[in-house]
Amino acid sequence: MSVFFAQAWAQEAGGGQASTGWLEFLPLILLFVIFYFFLIRPQLKRSKEHRALISTLDVGDEVVTSGGVVGAITKIEEDFVRCEVAKGTEIRVQRAAVVATLPKGTLEKLDSGSD
């Protein structure tokens, strides 16, 4: 019968690849390293810069909020900031909503309409 059919031989138990177990995790480790340097680290840096910006706010600073509102700070409270957006018009925004400070005189330039 062996003339027509090839004999099947059983493999040894264990395979022989026990020493390369850590190589299976190498792509996962590389993926985490890539995510860290391209996503996590820049976001932590931006967050740190934003916390520094919020902690240094002072009365008279000209700021931009996350909604795009431009105004001058008139009063600083614990969690909120009052901004004058037009003569006699103040709004209260959260401190975390302030995304940038503007150079002094920017509001006057915007009000006069000159660039």
pLDDT tens digits, residue range 20-57?
A: 778 888 999 999 999 999 999 999 999 999 999 999 99
Q: What is the CA radius of gyration of the chain?
A: 31
pLDDT tens digits, residue range 87-113?
A: 999 999 999 999 999 999 888 888 887
Same domain, 73 and 100: yes
* Residue 102 included in any domain: yes
Last residue of a domain, one of 56, 82, 102: 56
**CATH code of residue 98:** 2.30.30
* Residue 64 included in any domain: yes
Element (H, E) at 80: strand 80-86
Residue 30 belongs to domain spanning: 22-56
CA 45 to chain centre: 8
* Residue 3 included in any domain: no
Same domain, 65 and 37: no
Signed CA dihedral, 94, 99, 103, 105: sign only: negative
- Report the alpha-carbon distance of residue 91 to residue 73 in Å, rounded: 10
Q: Give the residue among 105, 64, 96 at the shortest CA–CA distance from 77.
A: 96
What global pTM score does this model have? 0.68
